[in-house]
Structures are given as C-alpha cells and as structure tokens.
A and B are shown apart, each in its own frame.
Chain A
C-alpha cells in the first residue's frame, strides 16, 4: 500500500525559506521508473505542478518557479524534501506530494496535503 505524508511549518514569514518533507511508504525511490512530485493549490484555485524528482536523481522544475525551488531525495529515509526560497503571501497554498511512475505518467497517489500560510 502506497502512502505519502507532507510535513513542515504551517506558517512562514515573507522572505523566509520554506522546507517541506514528504515521507512515503510502499515503494522505493531506488526503483526504476518511480517519481515523486510536488503540487500546490492556493485556496479556491487551480492545482499547480512545482517539481518532480526521479529514481535516477533527474529533476524537473516549473519554469515560472525554477529559480526558487530545490528538490532532493533521501532514499534511506524514504523522504523527498522541497525547498522554496523568498516566500510571499501569494505562495499561501496547500502543498501536496504525489507518487508517479513512467508506466502511467500521472500522479497515482497523493499525500493529504499541508496548508502553508505566508504572513508576517
């Protein structure tokens, strides 16, 4: 059974750096074809894909946020870490991590999400 769960701060101040951790079970990021991605959703708005990390450590980033994002993995801990710099109130959103694989290409399993509010 595949599960994912996001953790991190729920309140950050403008200009600060956000660090979120996705802890997963039921699969390994050492397995060929496996990917973990981050997606966010501002309140009442659309989903926005942020970044993916692949089993082979390849990474993809949203072009509009590339300069602010870093994604890393720790396969021994079954964790993926997202870092986003220069946080602004417009970054207030629910942040999700999700599992994907090259067989489907879609996000097959999602974490419950974590609401991050950016406010002074």
Chain B
C-alpha cells in the first residue's frame, strides 16, 4: 500500500501570507495525486488533480506541483476562507490519503 506523508501537521499563518504544504509518497506515483480542501463539518472539495491541474472554479492562488514522490500545494496569498484542512490523495494504485495539514490563523 502506498503511504502518503503530509507535512507539516499544522501551519500557522496570517491572511495574505504564502502557504506551502508538502505531500511525500512512499513510492513513485508519477502525477497521480490530488489535493482536497476540507472545512469543519463539510465534505472534502477537490482543488487539484494530476498533481498540478486546477479544477474549474478554484482560484489561481492555489497551485500544485511535483511528480514521482514529492508534491507541493501552494496557496500564494491566504484569504480568510482558505483556513482549513488540506488532504492529498494518490490514485496510482487504488487510493490512499495523507493525514492532512491544518492551515490555521496565526
């Protein structure tokens, strides 16, 4: 089973700052990685698939990069609505999720 390790567990930042979230896979998953945003008591929402393809309607301050085993989700300037938990998911071999990174207001 492919394991995804997300870091950091929690990111404390202020609105307007840049957020950089990491997701590392235990083996190569090529570009078969998605990022989701989840707010309290809501279902996850897909932001990025194919490691770097932004879903229609997602603001361009969200960007994904990486391939193989190392991936990054960047939020260029945090807006108040961006404070949430972010999950990565691989779909190269069935599916697994990382444990999530919480982006909280500093």
B94 close to A106 (CB less than 8 A): no
CB-contact partner of A106 in B1, B34, B43, under 8 A: B34
A99-117 vs B, CB cutoff 8 Å, 1 = contact: the mask equals 0100011111111110000
A46 CB-CB contact with B under 8 Å: yes
Q: Which of A52, A96, A107, A111 has the most CB of B within 10 A?
A: A107
- Given that A105-B34, A105-B50 are known contacts, is A112 also in contact with B43, CB under 8 Å in the complex? yes
Give the size category of B's interface with A.
20 to 34
Number of interface residues of A (CB under 8 A): 23
Q: Which residues of A contact B34 (CB under 8 A)?
A: 104-107
CB-contact partner of B97 in A46, A63, A64, A104, under 8 A: A46
Contacting residues of chain B (71-96) with chain A, CB-CB under 8 angstroms: 87, 89, 91, 94-96
CB-contact partner of B32 in A48, A60, A105, A110, under 8 A: A105
Q: How far does the alpha carbon of A105 sit from the alpha carbon of B45 in the complex, in Å?
A: 14
A62 CB-CB contact with B under 8 Å: yes
26 A–B contact pairs at CB < 8 A?
Answer: A37-B95, A39-B95, A39-B97, A46-B97, A47-B87, A47-B89, A47-B100, A48-B97, A49-B94, A49-B95, A52-B94, A62-B94, A63-B1, A64-B1, A104-B34, A104-B49, A105-B34, A105-B49, A105-B91, A107-B89, A108-B46, A108-B49, A110-B43, A110-B44, A111-B43, A112-B43
